[in-house]
Amino acid sequence: MRIVLLGPQGAGKGTQASRLAEKTGAEHVSTGDLVRAEIKQGTELGKKVQEYNDKGELVPDEIIVEMAKPHLKSGSWILDGFPRTEGQAKALDEALGDLSVGLDKVVALEAPDEDLVQRLSGRRQSEATGKIYHVEHDPPPEDLEEDPGPFVQRYDDTEQAIRRRLAVYHEQTEPLKDYYADQGLLATVDATRGIPEVTEEMLRAVGEAGGLPA
Ligand code: AMP
């Protein structure tokens, strides 16, 4: 199964990609997580990408393409946060061509900006498990099996960085919906509904495309 997940920050891409990965056995590949891991480890690459990440700007295409490429070989994945520009989409097509494979489906999650700002400002991540919660809409249950450790806010989830990231999304990433619609690959999903309902609709879209194992 090879799926691209498009959608603005806060639409639930990360949450939905990990639910879909759990249900299908595909690998969840988040380029945002790859970027944050490099920054956390203080690598040379991490230093290069940190200023883009902190400002809510996109890392240059050639850097992010090289980070994503090794993960395409596994055969079954859900790409979360990649591609984000037409240049990246073309680089992905080329990389898949080299592997003689294609995409099964592109699922675009959709929600109005004001909902997204509200969701992102309440977003908290468990430092221990990496799981994402929302202070109001999806608080962590009290009987978690694993100690979640402290809950932290992402440093690019400030109101200013959020607005900047949404503007970048509309300008550079949203046009990819047309790019993939032209290839007959696009399914749009209303992301304002509850988490399980959104997953169900995504599974339907992916299943109809033949992306699910029998
Ligand atoms: P995310 O967690 O997907 O919101 O990504 C966090 C940050 O990582 C973004 O604001 C960018 O700085 C960087 N990033 C992640 N994916 C990409 C991508 N496909 N292209 C460029 N920058 C990216």
pLDDT digits (tens, 9 = 90+) for 147-170: 878 898 877 778 888 888 899 999
pLDDT-derived band of residue 136, with 50, 70 and 90 as boundaries? confident
Q: Is the pLDDT of residue 72 over 60?
A: yes
Is residue 72 included in any domain, yes or no? Answer: yes
**Number of domains observed in the structure of the chain:** 1
> What is the CATH number for 86?
3.40.50.300
CB-CB contact of 121 with 157 (8 Å): yes
Q: How far is the CA of 59 from the centre of ligand 1 (A)?
A: 7
Q: Which residues are catalytic?
A: 13, 84, 123, 154, 165
User: In what helix (H) or strand (E) does residue 138 lie, and over which residues does it extend?
Assistant: none
**Ligand 1, atom 15: closest residue by C-alpha:** 32
Question: Could you tell me the pTM of the whole model?
Answer: 0.86
Q: Which range of residues forms the domain containing residue 83? A: 2-112+173-210
**pLDDT classification of 213: cutoffs 50, 70, 90:** low
Ligand 1 centroid to residue 15 C-alpha, Å: 16
Q: Does 203 reside within a domain?
A: yes
Span from the CA of 179 to the centroid of ligand 1 (angstroms) = 20
In a domain, 45, yes or no: yes
pLDDT at 211 over 90: no
Q: Is residue 136 part of a domain?
A: no
- Map tokens 């309902």 to a residue: 197
Residue 93, in any domain of the structure: yes
Question: Which residue has the CA at smallest separation from atom 19 of ligand 1?
Answer: 82
Residues near 46 by Cβ (< 8 Å), separated by ≥ 6? 38, 39, 40
pLDDT in tens, 108-125: 999 999 999 988 888 898
The stretch 78-100 carries a mean pLDDT of: 96
With the most atoms of ligand 1 within 8 angstroms of its CB, the residue from 6, 29, 31 to mutate is 31
93 has a pLDDT exceeding 80: yes
Reference 208, options 194, 190, 188, 187; nearest CA is 187
Q: Which residues line ligand 1 (CB under 6 A)?
A: 9, 31-32, 35, 52-53, 56-59, 64, 81-84, 88, 156, 165
177 in any annotated domain: yes
| Tally of CA atoms within 13 A in the half-sphere of 2 that contains its CB | 17
